[in-house]
């Protein structure tokens, strides 16, 4: 039993699990902000065109109410959240690869060059191309 508890403790205190927990909490708070944006600002603006609160649009079919206004509001929430998450992931990926590309480009430029005759990649110190044997 103590081995099981130690394994659980090791799992729960790993960096990835804590990062995930923080992400879920921040995501929940962010969802509240997006819901407020859509319900309090975007839906009333869209509702101006219909002279009615957009989230209250209801269609009655056979005595059953279909609340399509609430569905459209939820769809707008989803699109906004997906777009913001896309922007965050894109910017984080760009930040992660920012330094890597410049270092790789510098080392490649310093160690190789292109033969002007056969366009093959050769050592920067070469005086004759090993592929086409042209003098450089």
DSSP letter assigned to residue 122: E
Q: Are 80 and 89 in contact (CB under 8 A)?
A: no
Distances (CA, A) of 57 to 10, 25, 31, 80, 129: 51, 32, 23, 21, 74
Number of domains forming the structure of the chain: 1
- When pLDDT is cut at 50, 70 and 90, the band that residue 105 belongs to is low
- When pLDDT is cut at 50, 70 and 90, the band that residue 102 belongs to is low
- Residue 1, domain member (yes or no): yes
| pTM > 0.85: yes or no | no
- Residue 125, domain member (yes or no): no
- Residue 69, domain member (yes or no): no
Within 10 angstroms of residue 55's Cβ, the number of other Cβ atoms is 19
- Residue 28, domain member (yes or no): yes
Q: Are 85 and 78 in contact (CB under 8 A)?
A: no
- Residue 21, domain member (yes or no): yes
- Residue 27, domain member (yes or no): yes
- Residue 30, domain member (yes or no): yes
Q: What is the mean pLDDT of the chain?
A: 81
- Residue 40, domain member (yes or no): yes
Residue 30 domain boundaries: 1-50
Tens digits of per-residue pLDDT, 45-101? Answer: 877 776 766 777 888 999 899 988 888 888 888 888 888 888 888 888 888 888 775
């Amino acid at each position: 039993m103590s081995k099981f508890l130690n394994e659980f403790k090791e799992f729960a205190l790993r960096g990835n699990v804590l990062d995930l927990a923080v992400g879920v909490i921040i995501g929940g708070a962010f969802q509240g902000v997006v819901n407020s944006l859509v319900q309090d600002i975007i839906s009333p603006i869209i509702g101006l065109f219909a002279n009615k609160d957009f989230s209250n649009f209801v269609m009655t079919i056979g005595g059953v109410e279909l609340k399509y206004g609430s569905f459209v509001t939820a769809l707008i929430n989803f699109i906004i959240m997906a777009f913001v998450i896309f922007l965050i992931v894109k910017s984080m990926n760009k930040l992660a690869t920012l330094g890597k590309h410049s270092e790789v480009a510098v080392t490649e430029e310093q160690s190789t060059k292109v033969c002007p005759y056969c366009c093959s990649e050769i050592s920067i110190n070469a005086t004759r191309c090993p592929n086409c044997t042209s003098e450089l």
